[in-house]
Amino acid sequence: MKLIDGKAIANQIKAEIAAEVKKLQEQKGRTPHLAAILVGNDPASETYVANKEKSCKEVGMSSSVYKMPADITQEKLLETIEFINKDDEIDGLIVQLPVPKHIDVQKVIESIDPKKDVDGFHPVNVGRMTLGQDCYLPATPFGISMLLERYNIDTQGKNCVVVGRSNIVGTPMSILLSRNNPLANATVTLCHSKTKNLTEVCKSADILIAAIGRCEMITADYVREGATVIDVGMHRVEDKSRKSGFRLKGDVKFDEVSPLCEYITPVPGGVGPMTIVGLIMNTLKAFKGEIYK
Ligand code: GUN
C-alpha cells in the first residue's frame, strides 16, 4: 500500500505557482486577487475560507473575504456579487457553499461572471468542461486529477467508479475522467443513491472515488485488492482529546481498506489540500486571462 501524500504534492505545486506569481507580478505590477463571500457562521465553512486565504498568502496572491450575516437578503448578496464582478482588481470570486436555505444557490452561482468563476460552478464553465473546452475546472476534481498525474497513476482504459453525484465533486469528476485525453480516457461509472448492487460495482473499480458524504461508508467489502482509492469525504468526529474537540474522517474506513489498496489518500492530508490548489490554479489562470481572452 502506498499513501498518496496530498499535502506534499500541494506544497510542491504551490511553490511552482508562487514562482510564477512572482514573475507575473513584476510584469503586470499587481498580484492575482481572490475574493470569497462567506454567508453565516458555519464553523467548517469558516475554516475552509480561512485556509483558502492562507494559501493565497503562501503563493503571493492577495485575497479578501466578504462576511455576511446568515439572514442577508438574496438581493443584497447578488448586489455584492455584481459589485465584485465589476472590480477590475479582483480576478476570482467564490461564494462559499452551502448558503442559507432562503437563498437560491443556482441564482447566486449564475450571477457570478463566468470569467471570475474560479470554482467552475457556473453553467458556462460546466458546459465548457463537458465539451472538453478550456474552462475553470471545479477545484476538487481538478485537484484529484493533478494528484493522479503527479503519482503517475494511469487512468486510460481503467474502470473508474465515482460514488456520489454532487454538482461540486462526483458529477464533474465523472466527466473529467471520461474525457478524451491522456490524463483521462477512463471507463467511468457514476453511482448514486439509486444504484443497484453498489458493493459489486465498487468492487469492479481499478480507481474508486468516494464522494458520498457519509462517514466511513466504504468498507473493505467495497474494494478489490490492488485498487486505488481516493477519499473525498471530510467529517468532523468528536474527539475530546484534541484541542479542537474533533478529528477528521473520510468516506472510507481507512484502517480496513488501506491494506487492500495499491494507492490510497488519507483524510486529512489527501484530497483536501489539493482542492485548494485547484482553486489557486484557477485564480492564476483568471489573472493571466488564459481561458476567456
Ligand atoms: N463548499 C464545499 N466545497 C466547496 C467548494 O469547492 N467551493 C465552494 N465555494 N464552496 C464549497
Q: How far is the CA of 1 from the centre of ligand 1 (A)?
A: 30
6, 265 contact by CB (below 8 A): yes
pLDDT at 208: 99
pLDDT at 13: 98
- Please tell me the residue having the least CA distance from ligand 1 atom 9: 96
Neighbour tally for 214: CB within 10 Å: 12
Residue range 224-239, pLDDT digits in tens:
999 999 999 999 999 9
**pTM, full prediction:** 0.97
Rounded CA separation 101/103 (Å): 5
Catalytically active residues, by annotation: 52, 96, 119
Domain with CATH 3.40.50.10860 in the chain: 29-115
- Please tell me the residue having the least CA distance from ligand 1 atom 6: 139
Question: Is the per-residue pLDDT at 293 higher than 90?
Answer: no
Rounded CA separation 120/59 (Å): 21
Percent of the chain topping pLDDT 90 = 100
Q: Which residue has 484541542 as its cell numbers?
A: 243
Name residues contacting ligand 1 (CB within 6 A). 94-97, 119, 139-140, 168
Domain with CATH 3.40.50.720 in the chain: 139-271
Q: How far is the CA of 263 from the centre of ligand 1 (A)?
A: 26
- Please tell me the residue having the least CA distance from ligand 1 atom 8: 96
User: Taking residues 81-90, what's their average pLDDT?
Assistant: 98
Rounded CA separation 217/1 (Å): 20
Looking at the domain that runs over 139-271, which CATH code has it been given? Answer: 3.40.50.720
Q: Per CATH, the architecture of 29-115 is what?
A: 3-Layer(aba) Sandwich (3.40)
Residue range 33-67, pLDDT digits in tens:
999 999 999 999 999 999 999 999 999 999 999 99
